[in-house]
Chain A
């Protein structure tokens, strides 16, 4: 009872959203001139910067695959991203795990066979943290990859949903996440509806899983629209510039 009331009987969550609502998403691409492709995404108060380098020559010859490119994901959290300042070491298992999630998500989607013997680097930097980092990272990475012009079969849109008190809720923020709510993140190819990643934190009753998954799926579709619009706007802008 002393815990925060995550969902009021009036049906509002702590920040005033209803259970099936996403936070506000804003995004831009090509924010870094150095990188081949980059994107900046704000998902509510979670802010991610993604940079893609490559395809380029692999750093370590030993890792080179002769028939396809290797994906390398590095994930970092800024010390100032959370309320309490904390520096994380490079080998923080949590960070490595996150990086490997992102890597696994993109491996089947990026058409790596087009770029044999090369390496594609994805750098992800959390600038501000307010829950849902994995989804934000995947979405930002998608945009950065597109911006870099790397061939992919589809967008990858990720979205989180969880079970808050008595119903499924979309897109948990930090308060909701940290109250030991069960949380599922899925990454989806919106056109085909294929799922490339399902990741769950904490325990969730199997009866409820279906609801949560379908809600997360809906969220992915919605995120797709948002990302797609940004990409198209950017493309149009580029086209306009090139026409000049």
Chain B
């Protein structure tokens, strides 16, 4: 019945290996069409009445071929595409070609709403075909698709209602054959065009290669066979390319050159030959004569690419700084001449594997040439947020709508005739600068899965939900610790409490100390969907204003959270410690606890300090504190490091979540208390699981940093008479302790921060993959370590819990997820990646909030030079924990409109000998240079936000924190402090821009006519407000409006929203106003939301003096404007209208004026009926806008003069210095193990 026919398929692979497989054909594979009665299927996927469109007016199913999925996957994912039959042939080919795409196809198939059905045609008796002689596999598969299509066509032709099948392929030859066979075939483009959806059209990948006639820009890539031969023979080098974050035309790979690890530089567009960051490439070395030390010599082919030139220069520092200061030790002592030790330099000959993904970014306003409102397709340029990615060209029909938005674009191809890669649009995220959009961007960019938990995941939660309680059966195999005085100490506002402590004095004078960790594994069973989801998330990500949970909230913040006075399941680690805090014995057990108190660090500290508190819990905390101090001392004696990082936390405004203040994180004694015991628990657990699973225990190590990473730091501090001995962690820790400069209290902290950056990153690993010596945790000075104490927010701890449970209870059964070395290794890799990404995401989030905080603010702060680059230096401002680059090149004032900027003159030059920047004047022997910038030097910088969101500058959409040097004052580099700045700033160039500024007043967008009509139906209800807004029109002194206005109050034809253009002359200059009347928006405030408001430069708020209600409503509007503009200094004119109706007055003039004062607005009484003051209101608004702009421009000018208006500066102005470094040490290479309790900032803020 089932088995039809056995036959043999032969394939060859690797060595000549004959593989013989059986292949069964069946006749129980159903068509899955809902209306089909012939088949024996029970659940159908394909709906009875599939969609229709213009091209195919009859209902139809789509059968796409492989290339459709490979190239147009983004289109296929759109909800408009439904009822698709995915052939097994196609699916297998997709899987073979690309696993990520295969996964996306699988996800679509799993989505019931998409109606994607997999038809196993290869196992169907009637659709299976043998490969013909002389037929290529591709042709065979194409034929298989046609045969399957034909079968479907015949199979469902008698269905009522009639359904047809359409084969979708972009291969014209295949289409022709299909049509010859009497099938319907179509290309994606035709199909989508018939759907009439511009967004979808934009997403179509242009697969067509450009004309052959075009000039070839890049050399051809070699074939895979040539590459693998070349790599084997040693002619080419293989590696993963890392592009410099400051210059996308400079990359490098790490590889073995003649058996020695080394870096190969790849410089310039031609040599990079279409490699994108992360691609695995093959490189051929250039002859030695072409080797470079620094990338400065790279020739940039186009003038418009000045930015590269600029950033190349900025980039130079890195290599130079690194290579020269070792070489320069014995170099000449005269002027800072840089000696070159050429580094191997190569060119890309082929790409082995692409690492393309989807990129978040924005489009280049300057590349949009189509007139506004046009829907004609046009090519535009896309800048990714990540500066390593080259500009991407894509076609869109909605270019204008995309300006100022954050969008996602994918790369499709990079033909050799095209300078930039070609991509397609995927979706819009939202407005640039908007907090939620930017948060989404940073999550996407850091590959953080942040979607909601699926129903499937949630189905694994306990059915009792919130009402879950400890039941008697839970006591099986658990100890009852409910009587113990357990308490937890956490940051304020912490809801996911995963650890608690207790201590009991034993009769023999020792102490019993217990650490109780939430028993997450009781709820999360191995390999169920929830477990898989948690494993793929890896960790909870803490952002400034929110938290992306690893586990569903019910578990994380409720059932697993060890809250006070509820019974909770726990995994306990119980020690007996003697008076010296030495471990007498240790045991582990699952338990039930009832925490007696959840304290914050502060509360716990107060209890310790307050002598009047003598209850058991307080006494316990004191004992713990005493023990913790001893533990800590011993740990420090062993050589544990106390490192530091400039952590800050934001105070957020309650409603808007906007940051209002920044402060440094404080550490209390109680932090250390909890941390000590957590460390102790982690170490004890690590030993236990390593004993049980010598091959597969999940451990964590922190490699010893290489000596070379300390070189620079050593040199810098030696100038201050301080030595750093980094031979062991003990000596390092001692020398850090001794490095104190009394007059600089911050110095020690600074030094610790910088030492942190010399460290390697701590990583998870599987015990079987390393030797025991490598297990060592350098920072904590322990020979073995793991993570056990935070299973709610880290998946590694979940695994460790399972392993520990298996280690203490020999009766439980466990699968090979705990014993398989390979999969454990894989998991460690994933967790390390997720962890790193989570850290970066948190940091980016802090960065984002720093930007928001500094928006419209200019502050001068003290900072310290923490790194010298070749033509810039990096300053850390301790107060805000931020870093920024200060450039040491002169700014050349640039004339507006000019396209070429003169190259910046270096004012300060890098002196590799002293690792400092100094002025260029010639020096006599032994004479100190006039100006010098050195490491650890204290400087004063001005911090402002370089926020050019609406501007058209290339880097404009990348927000940057900008630092300008104030003290010491260096001509050409520094700026004057903000006080004197305004007087000095030139005004001339500003005027020019004014004249060209077409918009002075803009509001919401014009709505479709249809929409308007719809809203008109509601006019009655809205009349009052509409009249208020209607004033805006009157002010235009438009005749038409006037006429209408005359009838006002009775039958005024309500326009909901409208836009006008008007020319107005103010103070002798002409302005073009783009005016939007927003009448009646309160009904659809959702539409008319912040983003529309943000586009407005100024606002006229109109109320009727005869209606108190209309006045009161203005408060809401004002707040909305402020929120949208993220500022309280928005040009607003408050118009008290209907002043002709004095007798009906409800709102007094004084009230209005007071409100205007509070709103920083201009108050004016108007009458639309008589036209009184209408024009005046308008003029005043324009003046107000001009004034505001003037203010901003001073800001801008100061900024521009800094960089000579070079378009490249946004690229350079990356504030975080560590991003520049392609090599370790990373920024905070070692995460603060010590700060065990630090859970991101968010618990403390919210």
Query: Which A residues fall within an 8 A CB radius of B?
Result: 1-2, 5, 8-10, 12, 14-18, 21, 23-24, 44-45, 83-84, 128, 130, 173, 175, 203, 205-207
16 example contacts (A-B, Cβ-Cβ < 8 A) are as follows A1-B99, A5-B95, A8-B88, A8-B118, A9-B110, A9-B118, A15-B24, A16-B23, A18-B2, A21-B3, A23-B22, A24-B3, A84-B15, A173-B22, A175-B21, A205-B815
In the docked arrangement, what's the CA distance between A1 and B110, Å? 17
List of A residues within 8 angstroms of B20 by Cβ: 45, 83, 128, 130
Chain B residue total in the interface (Cβ 8 A): 30
Is A17 a contact partner of B815 (Cβ separation < 8 A)? no
B25 interface contact, C-beta 8 A: yes
Given known pairs A84-B15, A84-B17, the reply for A45 and B22 (CB within 8 Å) is yes
13 extra interchain contacts, Cβ-Cβ under 8 A, other than A24-B6, A45-B8? Answer: A1-B99, A9-B109, A9-B110, A10-B118, A16-B22, A16-B122, A23-B22, A24-B22, A44-B22, A83-B17, A83-B18, A128-B20, A203-B816
The 6 A-B residue pairs with the shortest CB-CB distance in the complex, in nearest-first order: A16-B24, A16-B123, A15-B22, A83-B17, A206-B813, A205-B815
In the complex, what distance in Å separates the CA atom of A10 from the CA atom of B123?
11
Is the Cβ of B813 less than 8 Å from the Cβ of A205?
A: yes
A17 and B24: CB pair below 8 A?
yes
> How far does the alpha carbon of A16 sit from the alpha carbon of B120 in the complex, in Å?
9
Instruction: Give the shortest distance, in Å, between B692 (CB) and chain A (any CB).
Output: 16
Report which B residues bind A (CB closer than 8 A).
2-3, 6, 8, 15, 17-26, 88, 95, 99, 103, 106, 109-110, 118, 120, 122-123, 813, 815-816, 819
Complex contacts, B15 vs chain A, CB 8 Å: 84
Q: How far is the CA of A12 from the CA of B28 in the complex (A)?
A: 11
Roughly how many angstroms separate A157 CA and B19 CA in the complex, as a whole number? 28
Residues of B within 8 A of A5 (CB): 95
The interface residues of chain A lying within 8 Å CB-to-CB of B25 are: 16
**B21 lies within 8 A of A203 (CB):** no
- B120 contacts which chain A residues (CB < 8 A)? 8, 10, 12, 16
- Contact: B123 with A12, CB < 8 Å? yes
Query: Are A21 and B2 neighbours in the complex by a CB distance under 8 Å?
Result: yes
Return chain B residues, CB-CB under 8 Å to A8. Answer: 88, 118, 120
Which chain B residues lie closer than 8 Å to A206 at the CB level? Answer: 813
The answer for the CA separation of A111 and B122 in the assembled complex, in Å, is 49
The distance in angstroms between the C-alpha atoms of A130 and B6, with both chains bound, is 14
Q: B23 touches which one: A2, A15, A128, A205 (CB < 8 A)? A: A15
Chain B residues near A128: list those with CB within 8 A: 20
Residues of A within 8 A of B21 (CB): 14-15, 45, 175
Interface centre among A130, A203, A207 (most CB of B within 10 A): A203
Inter-chain CA distance A1–B23, complex, in Å, is 23
Cα(A148)–Cα(B527), bound, Å = 51
Cβ–Cβ < 8 Å partners of A83 in chain B = 17-20
Q: How far is the CB of B453 from chain A (nearest CB, A)?
A: 21
Interface centre among B23, B25, B99, B815 (most CB of A within 10 A): B815
Contacts of A130 on B, CB cut-off 8 Å?
20, 22
Closest CB in chain A relative to B460 CB, distance in Å: 15
> What residues on A are CB-neighbors of B6 within 8 Å?
23-24, 44
Q: Are B22 and A203 closer than 8 Å at their CB atoms?
A: no
Q: Which of A2, A44, A203 contacts B815 (CB 8 A)?
A: A203
Cα A2 to Cα B99 in complex, Å, equals 8
Contacts of A84 in B (CB 8 A): 15, 17
Note all chain A residues with C-beta closer than 8 A to B8: 45
B23 — which chain A residues lie within 8 A by C-beta? 15-16
Pair B813/A207 contact, Cβ less than 8 Å: yes
Q: Which residue in chain A gives the minimum CB-CB distance to B813?
A: A206
By a CB distance below 8 angstroms, the chain A residues around B819 are: 203
Measured between alpha carbons, how far is A5 from B3 in the docked complex, in Å?
Answer: 21
Q: Which residues of B contact A16 (CB under 8 A)?
A: 22-26, 120, 122-123
User: Which residues of B are found within 8 Å of A10, using beta-carbon distances?
Assistant: 88, 118, 120
Q: How far is the CA of A23 from the CA of B22 in the complex (A)?
A: 9
In the bound complex, how far is the Cα of B17 from the Cα of A175, in angstroms?
14
CB-CB < 8 A to A203: which residues of B? 815-816, 819
Rounded to whole angstroms, the CA-CA distance of A24 and B3 in the bound complex is 7
Q: How far is the CB of A1 from chain B (nearest CB, A)?
A: 6
Q: Which residue of A lies closest to B8 (CB)?
A: A45
CA distance A61 to B454 in the complex (A): 72
Chain A nearest CB: distance from B1246 CB in Å? 38
With a CB–CB cut-off of 8 A, which chain A residues contact B122?
A: 16
Chain A residues whose CB sits within 8 angstroms of the CB of B88 once the complex forms: 8, 10
- Name which residue of chain B comes closest to A166, CB basis: B527
Residue picked from B21, B110, B122, most chain A C-beta under 10 Å: B21
Best-surrounded residue of B3, B26, B106, B120 (most CB of chain A within 10 A): B3
- Chain B's closest residue to A42 (CB) is B6
CA distance A16 to B669 in the complex (A): 66
Q: A156 to chain B: closest CB distance in Å?
A: 24
Find the residue from A16, A21, A206 having the highest chain B CB count within 10 A: A16
User: Least Cβ distance of B1034 to chain A in Å?
Assistant: 66
- Taking the closest CB of chain A, its distance from the CB of B802, in whole angstroms, is 14
Q: Whole-angstrom distance between the alpha carbons of A44 and B3 in the complex?
A: 11
CB distance from B392 to the nearest CB of A (A): 28
